[in-house]
Every structure is written in structure tokens, then in C-alpha cells.
Amino acid sequence: MLKKFTSLFPLWAVLLSAVAYLYPEYFAPHNNLIVPFLSLIMLGMGVTLSVDSFLEVLKRPHVVLLGTLMQYTLMPLAAWAVSIALNLPADLMAGVILLGCCPGGTASNVICYLAKGDVALSIVLTSVSTMIAFLATPFLTWLFIGQTVEVDVTGMLVSVINIVVVPVALGLAINYFFESRIKAVRDVFPAISAAAIVIIIAIIIGTNSENLEQSGPLVLLAVILHNSLGLAGGYGAAKALKFSEKEARTIAIEVGMQNSGLSVALAIKHFTAAAALPGAIFSIWHNLSGSFLAGHWSKETEFDRDKHEIS
């Protein structure tokens, strides 16, 4: 039941977002819950990881390096290019670029599994990009929008450490020291994370309900373009380097699916409610596009391992 609930996350996100749009008064007053809920999601991710999963980095460093580099080069550049091309207002531009500077999202692990990708690699890529986010996200945000919008680099650095590093490290420690005790309830954590993300999305939608009708279509277009560039760029680069089909799928998903919850929390804390709108819409869209892509890829069960695998 819990796995079924988690797999239907995009449906819950769309439904609750519709409710939040129609009845914003029930959600908008609770934006103070965003950061705690995001920390809860990061804690849940940490609990599902193990020390062994991080050792995967040593076994396939070339794959991890490509995925991480594309996460922090392609996505910020794509966000900047899309913002310029669409001539987005300053707040929305800040939100889109901040989104592009965030690490991979935890939902990518579920999508990767559904797409018959390399789940272990997905977890490692998410973990690595998350662990270096406390440096990469503030620096890249300053690099791309520091001249346009004042960015509190130190404040963002502290926020990422508090929201990401500390909860993930705590979750990892819990899993390490109490693995046998929490094994039976480990499936609860993805469901809790899914519920928390859905609530975060609803709160942001409720907070921005008045702006959605005016800015929603433009932001949605920006989000679709940004996500599509990430998915296509990640897959194309991996295939060009002759990575295996599973690795290419995994890199595409990891690069294209951002930690939109983190971008929402940072936007609320350091910019404006409007700057959080791209992250909120991305939270819905990238799960819908990822689910569609997973459905397509899951039908292809044969992989040409010999031709594409890197020795």
C-alpha cells in the first residue's frame, strides 16, 4: 500500500495543488512548514542510504563525474538561457535559475526504478550532488544572478547545510547504527517524503494563487523547457560517451529532475514568494514528465549491454 501511494505521487500532487488553488486560505498561512518538511524529506533519504551506497562512487567514478558535472553545468546554463529567451521578470528569473542550481531530487530514485534504470547509481548521483550542494548551489546562484538580484551567499550556504547536510547525515547515522531495527519500517520513509512534498507544493500553490493565473502559463513554459533540456542533454551526453542504456537513462533522470523542494525553501527564505513559483510548478511537472518517460522506457526490456557498456 505504501509503495502504491508513493508511486501515485504525481496524482496526489496535481489533486492537492488544484485544491490549494481553489481554496488557498487553507494552505497559504502555513508556509513556515516548508523548511521543516523539506528537512524531514532529507532525513528520510538519509535513512534509506547506507555507507555501501557511497562506495559505489569509487567503482564508477567516470559515470558519477559526468552526472554531477551536467547537474551543475547544464541545468544552471539551461535555466539562464530559458529565462533570457522568455524575458522573465526578475523574481521569476531568480526562481528558475535557483532551481537550476539545485542538486538532483530524491523523486528521481523512484522514477529511475520505474524506468528500469540503475537505481544504485541514481542514489549515488543524488547523494553526491546533494552533498556538494552546500557549496555549488550558493556559488552558482551568485554567479548567474548575483549581478541582477542580491544574493545572500553566506545565508544560503548556512541554509543548505541546515536543510540538506545535517538531516541526510543524521538519517545515514540512524541507518548505520539501527539498520536491523528500522528495516521493517524503511518503506514508510519514501511515503512520508512523498506526502511532505505534496504538502509543500500545495502550500506554495496556495501562497501564489493570485499570481498563478497571470504568471502560471509563462512559468510552466519555462519549467517544461528547462526540464526537457535536462532530460535530453543528460541522455544525449551519456549515449555520446557510449555509456550503457541503463546508465544513460539514469543520468537523464538525475540531471532533469531537480530538488525543487530545496529551491522552493531557499526562494522563500532569500527571495520572494513569486520566486518560489518555478520550483512549485517544477515539483509537479518533472514528476509527470518523469513518470511518462519511465512508462515509455519500462516497455523496453532488452538492453544492448555489450555495445554500450564501458569497460
Q: Burial, 30: exposed, middle or buried (Cβ in 10 Å; 0-12, 13-18, 19+)?
A: middle
Cα separations in angstroms, 273 against 2, 46, 96, 224, 286: 32, 28, 13, 20, 20
Looking at residue 156, what is its pLDDT? 66
Sequence-distant (≥ 6) Cβ neighbours of residue 8 within 8 angstroms: none
pLDDT at 18: 87
List of long-range contacts for 158-165, beta carbons under 8 Å, 24+ apart: 159/265, 159/266, 159/269, 159/270, 160/133, 160/134, 160/262, 160/266, 161/134, 162/39, 163/35, 163/38, 163/39, 163/42, 163/262, 163/265, 164/42, 164/103, 164/130, 164/133, 164/134, 164/262, 165/131, 165/134
C-alpha cell at 128: 553526491
Which domains does the chain possess? 41-204+212-286 (1.20.1530.20)
Pairwise CA distance, residues 104 & 110, whole Å: 12
CA 196 to chain centre: 14
Averaged over successive runs of 10 residues, the pLDDT of the chain (311 residues) comes to: 69 84 87 83 77 74 92 95 92 92 81 77 84 85 73 70 82 83 75 79 80 76 95 95 91 91 84 85 81 75 44 35
Q: How far apart (Å, rounded) are the C-alpha atoms in residues 31 and 152?
A: 21
pTM for the model: 0.75
Q: How many residues does the chain have?
A: 311
C-alpha grid cell, residue 279: 520550483
Question: What is residue 306's predicted lDDT score, i.e. its pLDDT?
Answer: 40
